[in-house]
């Protein structure tokens, strides 16, 4: 055999040996066992076949159980042990943990339950992988909060602010479409609920014919700071009770208060010390109480002063009140004032 042939043959034999050795190395490496911690997402299911119907008096609505919001995004730390190739599959495509509440044929009740997890709770393994391919060395316990949810028909209360609608008297809401909605939420929250409010309507009403609001008025998604579900979620129509300003009450001798007297300034000329208020509409307190008689203390009349010293200028008279359903006119509308430094 020629020397060149021997060298050539030995070269390819060496290359084949390297390839075979590398393959053996990786094969053995894949079979070496390793340990890893992986956070697994927890899915909680409820065995609805064990839920008994509990009707609410005078409502005819059946209750159900749900997983509380704070228990819907749980994860649990799980320690796996197995061959490197299987562990890599787990890390790239983690399985999930499935918990079925009521799986032991026990009655389901609202409250917090603690579940001791084991390998039987692991679901959705990577493709072509079995539970027998790995060992689960540790799974922590998990706490799940179960709430009893009920549905109930309640009335609708429209929250509105028409304080800028000074051209007409908006007395309130005549009716809504629909007039009632179905609300769903925790039993303790919903059972005594009478109505659900809308988000505040703040339209400016220009005339007495503008009685319909068809802007899909949204209902609140929270009740006592707890999320609830309303069906439907919006009102298609809110009908307003509107009239022209007809009734009026005149209040005389309402004192003016001069505001923002700072840096040692004082008013030296304010011939106008009082104004007359003409109140039209139906004076109503925040709690809905309608007043038949008005007094001076229900109004605050003031003039804001920010001016140069020893200069006579004219300022608008402003009126504040916490009454609803009123339009207020003031006479005179302007006063002349002058200020100087205090001695």
The per-residue pLDDT for 319 is 92
Same-domain check for residues 93 and 163 = no
Same-domain check for residues 190 and 262 = no
Whether residue 278 contacts residue 248, with contact meaning beta carbons closer than 8 Å, is answered with yes
Same-domain check for residues 39 and 139 = yes
3-state secondary structure of 120: helix
Q: Could you report the per-residue pLDDT of 212-243, keeping only the tens digit for each?
A: 888 889 999 988 888 899 999 999 999 988 87
Domain range for 121: 33-149
16 pLDDT more than 50: yes
Q: At what angle do helices 3-31 and 84-92 cross, to 10 degrees?
A: 60
260 pLDDT more than 90: no
What percent of the chain has pLDDT above 90?
Answer: 13
Cα separation, 114 vs 60, in Å, equals 33
Q: Lowest-pLDDT range, 3-17, 31-45, 235-249?
A: 3-17
Tally of residues, the chain: 343
Whether residue 333 contacts residue 316, with contact meaning beta carbons closer than 8 Å, is answered with yes
Same-domain check for residues 45 and 137 = yes
pLDDT category, 196, cuts 50, 70, 90? Answer: very high
Same-domain check for residues 8 and 104 = no
Please give the residue that has the higher pLDDT: either 245 or 231: 231
Same-domain check for residues 268 and 306 = yes
Same-domain check for residues 141 and 43 = yes
3-state secondary structure of 232: coil
Q: For position 91, which CATH number holds?
A: 2.170.120.30
Q: Could you report the per-residue pLDDT of 134-147, keeping only the tens digit for each?
A: 888 778 888 888 88
The per-residue pLDDT for 307 is 61
Domain count, the chain: 4
Last residue in a domain, options 115, 149, 183: 149
Same-domain check for residues 71 and 139 = yes
Same-domain check for residues 230 and 302 = no
Q: Could you report the per-residue pLDDT of 64-100, keeping only the tens digit for each?
A: 788 887 888 888 888 888 887 788 888 888 889 898 8
Last residue in a domain, options 243, 275, 300: 243
pLDDT category, 60, cuts 50, 70, 90? Answer: very low
User: What pTM was estimated for this model as a whole?
Assistant: 0.55
The per-residue pLDDT for 263 is 59
Kindly report the number of other CB atoms within 10 A of residue 92's CB atom: 8
Q: What is the mean pLDDT of the chain?
A: 79
The per-residue pLDDT for 232 is 93
Same-domain check for residues 3 and 14 = yes
Q: Lowest-pLDDT range, 34-43, 60-69, 195-204, 215-224?
A: 60-69
Last residue in a domain, options 196, 214, 243: 243
Same-domain check for residues 51 and 141 = yes
Choose the most confident range, by mean pLDDT, from 134-143, 188-197, 201-210, 281-290.
Answer: 188-197
Same-domain check for residues 118 and 185 = no
């Amino acid at each position: 055999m020629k020397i060149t042939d021997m060298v050539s043959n030995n070269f390819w034999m060496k290359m084949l040996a390297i390839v075979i050795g590398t393959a053996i190395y990786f094969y053995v490496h894949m079979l070496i066992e390793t340990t890893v911690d992986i956070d697994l997402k927890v899915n909680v299911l409820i065995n609805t076949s064990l839920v008994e119907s509990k009707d609410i008096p005078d409502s005819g609505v059946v209750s159900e159980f749900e997983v509380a919001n704070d228990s819907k995004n749980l994860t649990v730390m799980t320690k796996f042990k197995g061959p490197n190739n299987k562990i890599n599959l787990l890390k790239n495509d983690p399985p999930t943990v499935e918990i079925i509440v009521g799986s032991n044929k026990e009655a389901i009740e609202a409250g917090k339950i603690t579940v001791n997890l084991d390998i039987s709770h692991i679901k959705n393994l990577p493709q072509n992988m079995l539970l027998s391919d790995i060992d689960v060395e540790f799974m922590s316990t998990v706490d799940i909060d179960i709430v009893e949810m009920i549905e109930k028909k309640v009335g609708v209360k429209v929250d509105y602010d028409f304080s800028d609608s000074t051209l007409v008297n908006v007395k309130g809401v005549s009716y809504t479409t629909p007039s009632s909605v179905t609300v769903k939420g925790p039993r303790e929250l919903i059972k005594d609920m009478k109505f659900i409010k809308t988000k505040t309507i703040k339209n400016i009403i220009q005339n007495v014919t503008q009685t319909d609001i068809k802007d899909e008025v949204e209902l609140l998604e929270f009740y006592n700071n707890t999320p609830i579900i309303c069906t439907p979620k919006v009102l298609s129509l809110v009908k307003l009770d509107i009239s022209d300003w007809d009734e009026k009450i005149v209040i005389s001798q309402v004192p003016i208060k001069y505001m923002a007297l700072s840096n040692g300034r004082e008013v030296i000329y304010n011939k106008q010390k009082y104004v007359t208020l003409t109140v039209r509409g139906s004076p109503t307190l925040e709690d809905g109480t309608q007043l038949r008689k008005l007094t001076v203390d229900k109004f605050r009349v003031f003039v804001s002063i920010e001016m140069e010293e020893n200069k006579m200028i004219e300022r608008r008279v402003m009126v504040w009140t916490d009454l609803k359903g009123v339009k207020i006119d003031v006479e005179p509308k302007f006063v002349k004032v002058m200020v100087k430094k205090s001695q």
